[in-house]
Structure 1
Amino acid sequence: MFPEAGTNSSNLLLANDSLNDTIIYPNFSAVNLSYSFQFWFALILQIPSVICYLLVLTYILTKKTERQALHNHSILVLLFLSFSIVLFDFSWKIDSYRRQGNVWPQVPFLCEVWWLLEYGFYDTCTVILAWSSFQRHILIFHSNLVSTKRKRLFNHYLPLTFIFIYLIIFYICTIFFPPCENQYDFTSPVCGAFPCYFSVPPLILWIVFVHGVIPTFLIAIFNITLLIRVLWQRYLHHRDWKRCRKMTFQLLSVCTLYLSLNLPLMLITMVQYAGYPDFATEFQLYLVFFTNIIQYLLPFVCLISLPGIWIKITTFFPWNTRRVMPIITTVNIRNGQQKTKV
């Protein structure tokens, strides 16, 4: 059913020699893991992940206080984007692993949509998480900036909407209408995982640094400073920081999950662009593969930060259903008669 090796081409790679520059890229579809392992690894994680996504999204969207909470809006966008990646991108990967790396149906449009999910949606999550990390400072320490409808429009809704629309349009144009000719490898997962814009230096440099490296480091910086500010303000004012603690914990949990895999990947990328293109390429391939864990675990991390959801979950289990028994009491009446109440 599966071949013993998941590699069907060399780990190194694809080069571009335009403008007298040589840029070498890893073949991200050539990780040295068997298709059997990749299939079961993805399938075992996907089933509970999809269930958890549905549970968390349903809870936030149906509970008015959670749905209207400003700090949940960027989290909702992240959940929808990541859920799309898990539901479509990862499902197609699982099917490809089952077919020994082959893609079906073998049509270019499927590959382009796949690349949009694989690269466009993932990078959109990165940039939105960076914005969310910055915005959390506003919501906690400068709430006056979102105190009116007008302020919320300009300081909350418009930036989030602009980031989302810009990135989606950017990747649609780059992938579906590229300044080059896409090549599709139907014998490896994600159609070879190599859109032709990888070979266009201005485009790939903009994507790698503006959509990847810089947002990743901003996530780390904003979250470290957020934690320091929250602890310092609590020490100075001795206030009840329950609400702030909840918002801080929610963001820190999501960002820790993201940075645990993506930060090492960005560091390797920076070293490669600094003049060492073959630096840690084998390790980089494994990092790229295991970054899928971020999307799989994201709903579980969000679940932990929604304490109210656990009360709702427990009501569905029969052992938490309490049986109500009637209580019989006797009430004395003045004329000596007794009246029984149930």
Structure 2
Amino acid sequence: MVPNTLAFWSYLIFLIPSIICSLFVLYHLLFDRVLRHALHNHVIIVVLFIVVIYEITVYPWMLYYYQYQNISGIPNIFCTIRTFLDWNLCITQTILISWAAIERHILIFHDKWVSTKKKRFFIHYLPLIVLVLYCFIFYIIVYFFPPCENLFDHSSLTCVYSCLYDIYAFAIWQTVAHQILPVLIIIVFSTALLLRVIWQKFRIHQSIQWRKYRKMTIQLLSVSLLYLIFYLPLSVAHTILLWNLMDDIYFEFQDYAIYFSYFVIPLFPFVCILSLPELRTKLIHTLHLQRRRIVPEIILIKAPVYKHMNI
């Protein structure tokens, strides 16, 4: 089992820089006209909003739990809201990234499908709206309006267990459709996109707009690699759970899989910056200007001291 102290400090170290990075990326994606109008950035923008909400709501609660290891006296409604946000936001951003893996094939190889406003609405905007609403309504029902009574355990991090998970068909749908399938889609469609782009690039001798498609491809592959590293172990754990192959080794593996899965959210903004050359340039420029501003201030502060000493 992962020690609470290790979980606390490892999450805290990444959390604050991640929030700053998320706001930086969001600011430029929203206020830069070119970046804002690029269709392939829209999923990233929505996921970044989810990341920020998650980081300022769920993670402080996690840090409190790992620090004090005691949440007795917490109202049940607080546990319900916290668990709803955790599951809803986590599953939503995973499903959105899996959709992005599919949509990249459309944007690169079937761009005529989004050539008009009507087509863009049905192919691009409507899936985003439907997926977000589906996850929101699904977990609203699961945690706030279940047909049975949820169970509360104030010694647990989630502190509420939905009674719907006791229904086998529901548990299968939740596990397969929300946790296993999205990760498989990310892996399969990202790999297929890479192979497809390379094949097209050499088959028709770069007659496709390679530079334009390269950015979209690199962005998706970078994000997909993040999910592959930190979410795949958890998907494997869920698959083992479905087959009832649990033993002591499984429960230890599951603890570490859950621990590493929580790094996806804070690392996501950094992956966005690394995969977008425009943002990397702006970040370097911002840091350079900040450094030039700090140096003169230090000189101005020290100058009167030297003058006084000469007197």
Shorter chain as denominator, the TM-score bin is: 0.7 to 0.9
Amino acid at match of 1:225: A
- Looking at structure 2, the residues matched to 263 and 114 of structure 1 have their Cα atoms a distance apart, in angstroms, of 24
State which of 116, 132, 137 in structure 2 corresponds to 1:148. 116
Amino acid at match of 1:106: I
Q: Give unmatched runs, 5+ long, in structure 1.
A: 1-31, 322-342
* Residue 307 (1) aligns with residue 302 (2): no
Quote how far apart the aligned CAs of 1:197 are.
2.6
- Looking at structure 2, the residues matched to 213 and 131 of structure 1 have their Cα atoms a distance apart, in angstroms, of 14
Q: Give unmatched runs, 5+ long, in structure 2.
A: 294-311
1:64-143 to 2 correspondences below 5 Å:
64-102=33-71, 106-143=74-111
Question: Which segment is superposed worse, 310-319 or 208-217?
Answer: 310-319
* Equivalent pair of 2:102/2:189 in contact (CA under 8 Å): yes
Taking structure 2 as the reference length, the TM-score comes to 0.87
State which of 212, 236, 243 in structure 2 corresponds to 1:243. 212
Amino acid at match of 2:224: C
* Residue 221 (1) aligns with residue 188 (2): yes
Amino acid at match of 1:268: A
Question: Which segment is superposed worse, 164-173 or 265-274?
Answer: 265-274
- Looking at structure 1, the residues matched to 237 and 77 of structure 2 have their Cα atoms a distance apart, in angstroms, of 31
- Equivalenced residue count is 288
State which of 161, 173, 180 in structure 2 corresponds to 1:206. 173
* Equivalent pair of 2:2/2:255 in contact (CA under 8 Å): no
Amino acid at match of 2:100: S
- 1:186-223 CA-to-partner distances (Å, cap 9, x unmatched) read 233222x6333322222211110111111211111111
* Residue 286 (1) aligns with residue 253 (2): no
- 1:98-154 CA-to-partner distances (Å, cap 9, x unmatched) read 222426x61112111111122111111121111111010000000000000011011
Amino acid at match of 2:125: Y
Aligned-pair Cα RMSD in Å: 1.8
Identity of aligned residues (%): 38
Quote how far apart the aligned CAs of 1:237 are.
1.5
Question: Which segment is superposed worse, 179-188 or 136-145?
Answer: 179-188
The structure with the largest helix share of the pair is 2
Residue 137 (structure 2) aligns with? 169
- Looking at structure 1, the residues matched to 234 and 6 of structure 2 have their Cα atoms a distance apart, in angstroms, of 22
Residue 55 (structure 1) aligns with? 24
- Looking at structure 2, the residues matched to 188 and 128 of structure 1 have their Cα atoms a distance apart, in angstroms, of 28
State which of 231, 234, 237 in structure 2 corresponds to 1:265. 234
Residue 163 (structure 2) aligns with? 196
- Looking at structure 2, the residues matched to 201 and 310 of structure 1 have their Cα atoms a distance apart, in angstroms, of 47
User: What secondary structure is seen at the aligned counterpart in 2 of 1:190?
Assistant: coil
* Equivalent pair of 1:93/1:190 in contact (CA under 8 Å): no
